[in-house]
Structure 1
Amino acid sequence: MACMSSCLSEEQLRCAICLDVFTDPIATPCGHNYCKTCITYYWDTNDVCQCPLCAKKFHKRPEVSINTLISEMADQFRKSQQQPAEADDVLCDVCTETKHKALKSCLVCLTSYCETHLERHQTVPALQRHKLINPVKNLEDIICKKHDRPLEMFCKTDHMCVCQICIEADHKVHQIVSLKEECEGKKAELRKTEAKVQQMIQEKKQKIQDVKYSVELSNKDVDKEIADTCTHFFTALTSCIEKHKATEKQAEAFIKELENEITELKKRSSDIKHLSYTEDHLHLLQMFASVSSLPPTKDWTNINVHPSSYEGSVRTAVAQLEQTISQEIEKLYDAELKSVQQHAVNVILDPDTAHCYLILSEDGKQVNHGLWQNLPDNKERFYPCPCVLGKESFSTGRFYYEVQVKGKTDWDLGMATESINRKGSIAFRPNNGYWTMSLRDEHVYWAGTDPPVLLPVREKLQKVGVFVDYEEGLVSFYDVEARNHIYSFTGCNFTEKLFPYLCPHLHNGKNSAPLIISPVNQSIV
C-alpha cells in the first residue's frame, strides 16, 4: 500500500472541494473523487446535481459508496506526512505506537489529537460541536476544578482564570475580561520587564569590564613596584604580592558572581520572550507571576575593586614594619570585637543554679560571695563550688556577652553544657562540658584547657567578652577595654544546650567585688 500511495502525487489525493487530503472518498459516475461530506453538501446546496469538476449533470443523484482503495491510500499518505513528535511537542493521546505531534486539543474530551485522529472531530456532527484549541500539555490545568468547565475568562478583581459558571456564581459582580485581553496587558508588562532585564545585563557586563580594568591597573602597579624593589625588603615585597593576589581573588569573585547573575537574567529573558510570543492565553496568565518579576541580584553600584597602593610600601624601613604590623593586628582585633559584639544577648543569671553562698542582684545581672542562704538543694544548684549559670540556653547560631571583673582577685567565666556535673569536686575542662578562663592570685590568667594554658595578659582585665559560634565549635574571650583577643577554644563539638557560666569565688577580704553582666557599649560598636 505504501508503494501504491507513493505512486500518486499529493494533488491526486486531495478533494477538489475542500482541497484537503480525502476523508471517506467516493467516486462519481464520471470518475472524479471527492470527500463524501463535501460532495453531499455540494449537491444539497445546489439545484442541479452535477460533477463540480467536469460539470456533467446527473438526472438522478448517484448512489455512491466509499472507495476503499483511495481511502486507504489517503490514510497512508496522511500518516507518511506526520513527523514523530519532538521533546517539547504536545503528543497525541490516541497514538499507540509512534507518538505523533498533536494538532489540536479538545476541551470536551480533554484529549489531544494528531492530524489522523482528529478526523472524527472534523466529520462527525456531534464531535464537530466540541471546542478545539491549539495543543496544550496537562489539559486538566485549563479546566475549572470546581465546575469541570474550560477556563475561558479572567477575573481582574480576584486575579484568576475562571469558567462561565464561575462568572455567573462567585464572580458575578467582578470585573471580567477575555483571556486574550488580559494577556495583552501582561505581555506589555513582560516587555517592560524584558527591557529592565536587558539593561541589568548590560550594566553587569560593564561592571565586569570595570573589574577587569581595575585588575589591569593593579597588575601595572605591582609590576612597577616589584621592578623598583631591592631584595633587602623581601618581607615587605611578599606583603605587596599578597595584597595583589587578594585584589585578583576579589575581582575573580566579583566577576563570577556577576556572570552568574547574567546567566540568570538571560534565562529570565528567554522565559519572558517565550511567554510573550505564546498564543496560549491561559498558559501566559498562569506563568506570568513566575517570570514577570526581576530575579534577585546584588546592587553593584557602589561595589568596586580598588587596586591596592604599592608606592613606597616595599621600601618601608624594617624598623617601622614591626610597628605597622602591631597596629594592623590591633585594628583587626578591634574589627573582630566589633563584629562579635553584634551578636550580644541579654544574659540573666538563674537563681535556681546558684550556690547557697552566692548573692544575686534583683535584676539577675550581678553575683558575689555572701552569707549562707537556706535554699532548696535541687539538682540544678552547684555545691560546693560557688558557681551560677545563665537562665537562657543557646543551641544554635552566635552569641556574645560581657562581664565586668574589675576589682576582683579570683574568678572564672565562660560557657557550660546543660549536662555538666554540679555536685562535688569538678574539673573545669572541655571534656567535662566547661569552656572557661580564670584569674588566680590577682594577676595570673589561665585558659581551662587540659592541661591549663597560662595566658599572656599584660594589663589587668576590667571587662571580659565571651563569644560563641555554636556551629563552628568556637568559644572566644576578649579584653573589652583594650579591645584585644585573649584566647579561643576551637574545634569544639557542641551537641547540647550551652549556658553562660560565672564563678566569683570566695570573699577573702580582697575578692569582695561582684561579677557584673554588663550591657554591650553600642557607641563603640
Structure 2
Amino acid sequence: MSAGSNLRSEDQFLCSICLDLFTDPVSTPCGHNFCKTCINQHWDSTSSCQCPICKKLLETRPLMEVNTFIKEMVAQFRHEAQQKARSSSEQQAARPGEVPCDFCSGPRLKALKSCLVCLASYCQTHLEPHLTSSRLKRHQLVDPVENLEDRMCLKHDQPLQLFCQTDQTCVCSLCPVLDHKAHEFVLLREEYEGKKAELRNTEAEVQQMIQERRLKIQDLRESVKISEDAADREKAEGLQVFSDLMDSVERNKKRFMKEIEDKQKTIKKQAEGFIKHLEQEISELMKRSSEVKQLSRSEDHLHLLQSCRNLKAAPPTKNWTEVRVHPPSYEGTVMRAVVQLEQNLMEKMKELFELELKRVQKFEVDLTLDPKTANPYLILSEDGKQVHCGDVRKRLPVYQERFSYIYQERFSYSVSVFGTQSFSSGRFYFEVQVKGKTHWTLGVARESINRKRSLTASPQNGFWTVRLRNGNEYKALAGPSVHLSLQSGPEKVGVFVDYEEGLVSFYDVDAAALIYSFTGCCFSQQLYPIFSPHDNDKGDNSAPLIICPVSQMFPLKLHE
C-alpha cells in the first residue's frame, strides 16, 4: 500500500471518540475499533456497556486486547505521513510575512501550528511530538501566530492563562495573588468562549441588519420600479390626452379656416359670374359700337339712311347700378370656433375627471362618526353614518377618554363632529351626501385643534375644508377663503387625501368634476375627517350629512 493511498484513507485510522489516530487500537465484538483508553473511559462513565457507534448493547463488558494488525497499520500510516510531510516541508521555507518554525537549526521552515502552551511555532517535523505524545496532545494548537512573547505576562514572565473580569484584561496565574486581589477571574478559554458567543450573536445581529437593509434596498428598488412604471403610464396617458387636445384644436382650426374659405369662394364665384356676364355685354356692345362708328363715317346719304333702317337693334343689357358683391360677415366666426373648441375640451376634461375620480375611489375607507367628539346639538344615527343638527342641546355622558390627547374635548362651539378613524400616512377617500342642505362644511382637520372655542377654519389653524352657505355660496377655506364658481350644486361630495403628497381634493361625484384642491400641505399630525351639518335653520337645513359607500358609476374611458 502506497503512502498516497494511506493518506487518502486517513479516516479509517481515526478513533471516533477522540477523533485522533488510534493509540493501542482495540476491536469490540460488533466489529468497531477504538483507542483502548478511550473505550474503557467511555464505558467507565456509563452504566451500560454499549457500542458508541452502532449502539449495540453488550451483556457483559469484554476484556479488550490490542489489535496488533491495526496498530501496525496505524504505525505504518503515521511513518509514511511523516516522511511525506518532511519531503514536502523541505521545499516550504518561511517567506517574508510567514511565521517560521522556532526549532529549525538550518533554514527555518514555514510553521504549520503554534502552541499556546509552549509559546512556540512548529513546522511539520517539529510538530510531530504534539501529534503523538499523550501529554503534548493536550496542548492547544492554533494556526501560526507571530509575537508569542506577547502572550507572556510582562510583569511575572508567566503565560497569560486567566482573564480578569474586573479590569477586563488577560493575566497570568500569579496576577490574582499579587496584583489583582479580590478581582473576579475566569479561565482564558472560558472568557474566550463567552466572547466568541457574543461575537457570534453580534455577527448574527449584523447579518440580520445587513439582510434587513438588503431587503430594504430591494423594496426601495421595487418602489422606484413601480414609480417608474406609474410615471411611464402617466406620461403615456398625458401625451395621449395632449395629442387628443392638439388634434381637437387642429380640427377646430381646419373647420374655422374652411368656413372662412368657403364664404370667400362663394363671394368669388358670384363676382366671377357677374364679371363674365358684364364681359359678354361689353363684347356685344363693342360690336354694335364698331358698326355704328363705321356707318357714321359714310358720306353716302342714301346708303346711310338705308343702313340705319337695317341696323340691328341694341342687344339687351342689364342695369348694373344696384348690382354689388357684398363681402361676407365674419363676425362671430372665431367665437363660434372657440366655443366649439371649449366644448370639446370640456368633454375631454370630463373624461379625465371621471378617470381621476375612479382612481381615487380605490382608496375608499369605511368611516363612522365619533359621538365622543360631537357637538351637543348634533344627532347621530345608530350606525354612525348620518348627522344633523337638532334644536335642543343634549346632556351627554362624560367619556373617560376626553382627558387624553385625542379626546381632549367634544366640539362645544362649532357644530361639528370627527370621524372615529384617524390617518397619519398613505391615501384615503370618502364620500358624503349633501343633498337638500343649504349649509355644510366638510374636509379634514388636525387632531390637536382646540374644540372648545371658535377658530377660523384655515390650513394655518389645522383645517382643510370646503363649505356651503345660503344654498349657493361655495368657498374653499384656504385662509383667505377662495370663492368657488360651480355650475350646479353637488349632491354628493368626495374627499381625497394623500398624506405624503400634502394633497386634499374635493370632488362633485355625480358631475365627476373637481371642486377644489389644497396642494403643498405639510401634515405633521394625525388627520381626522370633520363633518359640520350646521344649524337647523328653522328646518331649511334639516337634511343630514350622510357618509355613503362609493358606487363605481363611471366607465373607464382612458387606459389605466
Give TM-score scaled by structure 2 length: 0.41
Q: Which has the higher helix share?
A: 2
Give TM-score scaled by structure 1 length: 0.44
Q: Which has the larger radius of gyration?
A: 2
